């Protein structure tokens, strides 16, 4: 099932240059928000390296595009800070995910992983400091109401915590190498991936002062999007050129291992279609987010098929 957007395309986003502009703004603001230490300050250096290394910046882009679709000014400085906080949280999770007692990865974003560059002690401490920074950035985001900032902190906290990334990672580590049902794999994928997408979308909704009904639809969108995203990540595992170790999932009970790549591609398209429907229900006017997701996934699927 392919996602078809028949209405008019956002003219700004039809140009790759608008996405580049937003990505540049995120990178520049991240650089301002991260500490610059002395040469001896390895923690600051590791925080900067882990965050500023060339990631795709999907989550911050999504936050700004969705908020724009929901009626918020895409260039609102507070929005940029929320977007950077989500990226810092994501970067902290990747730094921890890569350490030897977890995935023991050598390569991330085309570079040696943080513990390979700085040592495991520095990687762990830098991830904790980065996460702490992220919450500070949300709490101090410029031009947003106190209520908005407080609720944004709560969203991020829920996404990271015991019923979020931490739980997803724990299940993946403890159950990922044993036989699992497709439902069990999808549940873990939701905790590992969808929950941070949900926090991203809920923060966009908070900045745009969206209604509870819209927030609920965005939650459905995030769940489907997270599933699609994780399936793409699994499909990419056997390919070189991703900037990560290849065949890291060997021996792991992923949906690709259970169902095969073709069935996973079909599932992915179904999740994407469903995500697109949820977003269009949440937001009838805006097309930027839908267009971005459709283009991005099409490109990625073409690469990994």
What is the smallest separation between the CB atom of 301 and ligand GRG, expressed in angstroms? 14
Buried/exposed code over 64-75 (b: 16+ C-beta within 10 A; e: otherwise): bbbbbbbebebe
| Nearest-CB residue for ligand GRG | 55
Q: By CB under 6 A, is residue 52 in contact with ligand GRG?
A: no
Q: By CB under 6 A, is residue 268 in contact with ligand GRG?
A: no
The angle formed by the CA atoms of residues 66, 244 and 87, to the nearest 5 degrees, is 30
Site string for ligand GRG, 137-176 (x = CB under 6 A): -----------------------x----xx-xx-------
Nearer Cβ to ligand GRG (66/208): 66
What is the smallest separation between the CB atom of 229 and ligand GRG, expressed in angstroms? 6
What is the smallest separation between the CB atom of 2 and ligand GRG, expressed in angstroms? 22
What is the smallest separation between the CB atom of 82 and ligand GRG, expressed in angstroms? 16
Burial status of residue 84 (CB atoms within 10 A of its CB: 0-12, 13-18, 19 or more) = buried
Measured in whole angstroms, how far is the alpha carbon of residue 78 from the centre of its chain? 19
* Beta-carbon count within 10 A of 286 CB: 21
Segment lying near ligand GRG (by CB under 6 A), choices 28-36, 64-72, 86-94, 261-269 = 86-94
- The two three-digit tokens of residue 113, written as one number: 């992983």
* Beta-carbon count within 10 A of 42 CB: 19
Cβ-proximal residues to 75 (8 Å cutoff; 6+ apart), any chain? none
On whether the CB atoms of residues 226 and 190 are closer than 8 A, the answer is yes
Q: By CB under 6 A, is residue 25 in contact with ligand GRG?
A: no
- The two three-digit tokens of residue 281, written as one number: 């229900």
Q: By CB under 6 A, is residue 55 in contact with ligand GRG?
A: yes
Nearer Cβ to ligand GRG (194/291): 194
Q: By CB under 6 A, is residue 97 in contact with ligand GRG?
A: yes
Nearest Cα residue to 117 out of 133, 91, 101, 95: 95
What is the smallest separation between the CB atom of 262 and ligand GRG, expressed in angstroms? 21
Give the whole-angstrom CA distance, residue 163 versus residue 157.
10
Nearer Cβ to ligand GRG (196/288): 196
Nearer Cβ to ligand GRG (56/239): 56
Which H or E element spans position 112?
Answer: strand 111-112
Give contact residues for ligand GRG (rule: CB under 6 A). 55-56, 58, 89-90, 92-94, 96-97, 109, 131, 160, 165-166, 168-169, 192-193, 229-230, 233
């Amino acid at each position: 099932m392919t996602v078809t957007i028949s209405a008019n395309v956002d003219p700004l986003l039809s140009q790759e240059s608008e996405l580049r502009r937003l990505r540049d703004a995120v990178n520049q603001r991240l650089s301002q928000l991260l500490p610059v230490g002395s040469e001896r300050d390895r923690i600051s250096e590791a925080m900067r390296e882990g965050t500023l290394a060339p990631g795709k910046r999907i989550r911050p882009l999504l936050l700004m595009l969705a908020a724009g679709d929901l009626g918020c000014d895409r260039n609102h400085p507070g929005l940029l800070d929320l977007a950077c906080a989500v990226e810092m949280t994501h970067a902290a999770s990747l730094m921890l995910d890569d350490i030897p007692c977890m995935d023991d990865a050598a390569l991330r974003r085309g570079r040696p992983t943080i513990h390979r560059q700085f040592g495991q002690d520095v990687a762990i401490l830098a991830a904790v400091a980065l996460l702490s920074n992220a919450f500070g950035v949300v709490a101090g985001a410029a031009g947003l109401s106190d209520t908005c900032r407080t609720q944004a902190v709560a969203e991020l906290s829920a996404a990271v915590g015991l019923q979020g990334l931490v739980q997803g990672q724990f299940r993946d580590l403890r159950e990922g190498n044993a036989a699992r049902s497709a439902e069990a794999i999808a549940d873990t994928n939701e905790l590992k991936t969808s929950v941070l997408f949900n926090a991203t979308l809920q923060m966009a909704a908070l900045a745009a002062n969206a209604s509870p009904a819209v927030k609920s639809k965005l939650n459905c969108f995030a769940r489907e999007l997270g599933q699609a995203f994780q399936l793409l990540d699994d499909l990419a595992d056997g390919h070189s050129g991703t900037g990560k170790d290849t065949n890291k999932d060997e021996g792991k009970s992923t949906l690709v291992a259970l169902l095969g790549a073709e069935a996973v591609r079909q599932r992915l398209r179904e999740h994407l279609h469903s995500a697109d429907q949820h977003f269009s229900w949440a937001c009838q006017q805006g097309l930027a987010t839908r267009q971005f997701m459709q283009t991005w996934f099409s490109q990625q699927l073409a690469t990994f098929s």
